[in-house]
Amino acid sequence: MVGMSFIAVDIGGTQLRAASYPSNSNRPIKELKIPTTHEGETVFDRVVALIESIWPDEAVEAIGAALPGPVDPYKGIILAAPNIQEWKNFPIADKLVDQFHVPVYVDNDANLACLAEWQFGAGIGHQHVLYLTISTGIGGGVISDSQILHGQRGLAAEVGHMMIDPDGPACGCGGIGHVESFANGPSITRYVREQIALGIPTTLSSSSELTAKRIAKAAEEGDELAQSAFARAGSYLGMAIANYLVLYDPSIIILGGGVTQAGDLLIEPLKQSLKERVLHPRYLEGLVITKAALGDEAGLLGALALVKMKTQTQ
């Protein structure tokens, strides 16, 4: 394996990242980041150019890519990408194989962030991991018995779209009462706006600049409405996690994404609600609930973990 290398690519709606790694280290040989779109170019051509620009001198064993949408990891197809209109059932793995003549492995970014946290981050040593990322949306991934839980077409573990209230608020996806519609960033700001409209006193104003981050700051400074907005989101997350426990029985829950920056404002109500809602206390015995360790690196490191796993076992 000496002299071999891997390439990892993280394809996001706004930026593309790629890095090459020696086979024995997670420290990149070369790394580059560019905007996803540029007038007159396809996103695929930009991905190809990006990979070429970080291509190392060492022989490349395989390429791994994290993709921003539902992915069929068996066929290497991205089914849709919210910010890349041209990708509908796009066979990206085959297209990259044609271009670079090395094996290409792909998965969606939430599954790979879960894989990265498990291999390199907060989940090391566990075999059953639930990863949740809570920001504009709520996504996640599940490692079950040391394997990514994929289901028949890679569409499992869409944990943010589990319905927890049939009469709940509308979700960004068009559904009703999904976890995401109760606890993502926009639902926290929406709740604060509604309460302000009802005349609840607060230091916050219902301007267009109201964000979950700003609400978190007000909460830390003692604003009771701001605190209640995170307590509400945390309480719904606790209910959701009570469900994930009976459905997946993980030994660790890893929480990432901007909303979790609110820390105990969110996590304490989450734990309280989880304790009230959990089917049986045995699900909580030894359960670790912790913050994600890798931040923005999770996609790239997940793509790296994927190629490492695949080339070891095949």
Nearer to its own copies by C-beta: 5 or 119? Answer: 119
Pair of tokens at residue 33: 């980041």
For residue 167, how many C-alpha atoms fall within 13 Å in the half-sphere facing its CB?
A: 0
Residue in the block written with tokens 């790694």: 21
Nearer to its own copies by C-beta: 114 or 204? Answer: 114
Q: Are strands 288-291 and 252-256 parallel, antiparallel or unpaired?
A: parallel
Residue 242 interacts with its own copies (CB under 8 A)? yes
Residue 152 interacts with its own copies (CB under 8 A)? yes
CA distance 21 to 180: 35
Smallest distance from its own copies to CB 201, Å: 27
Residue 290 interacts with its own copies (CB under 8 A)? no
What's phi and psi for 22, nearest 5 deg? -65, 155
The footprint of its own copies on this chain (CB under 8 A) covers a number of residues equal to: 44
Residue in the block written with tokens 């690519």: 9
Residue 277 interacts with its own copies (CB under 8 A)? yes
The sheet carrying 129-134 orders its strands as: 147-148, 138-144, 129-134, 252-256, 288-291
Nearer to its own copies by C-beta: 6 or 90? Answer: 90
Residues contacting residue 189 through CB under 8 Å, at least 6 positions apart? 210, 211, 212, 215
Smallest distance from its own copies to CB 163, Å: 6
Smallest distance from its own copies to CB 38, Å: 30
3-state secondary structure of 30: strand
Smallest distance from its own copies to CB 76, Å: 16
Site for its own copies in 72-131 (CB under 8 A): 79, 126-128
Smallest distance from its own copies to CB 293, Å: 20
Residue among 186, 188, 198 at smallest CA distance from 228: 188
Residue 271 interacts with its own copies (CB under 8 A)? no
Among 78, 84, 157, 231, indicate the residue that binds its own copies (CB under 8 A): 157
Residue 246 interacts with its own copies (CB under 8 A)? yes
Nearer to its own copies by C-beta: 136 or 251? Answer: 251
Residue among 77, 13, 2, 216 at smallest CA distance from 204: 216
Residue among 159, 161, 188 at smallest CA distance from 172: 161
Among 103, 169, 172, 175, indicate the residue that binds its own copies (CB under 8 A): 175
Smallest distance from its own copies to CB 276, Å: 9
Smallest distance from its own copies to CB 18, Å: 29
3-state secondary structure of 149: coil
Site mask for its own copies (CB under 8 A), range 189-228, x = bound: ----------------------------------------
Among 135, 136, 251, 261, indicate the residue that binds its own copies (CB under 8 A): 251
139-153 per-residue burial string, b: 16 or more CB within 10 A, e: under 16: bbbbbbeeebbbeee
Question: What distances in angstroms separate CA 168 from CA 185, 226, 280, 287, one per listed residue?
Answer: 16, 21, 26, 29
Q: Kindly list the residues in this chain that would bind its own copies in the complex (CB under 8 A).
A: 70, 79, 126-128, 144-145, 147, 149-159, 161-167, 173, 175-176, 239, 242-243, 245-251, 277, 279-280, 282-283
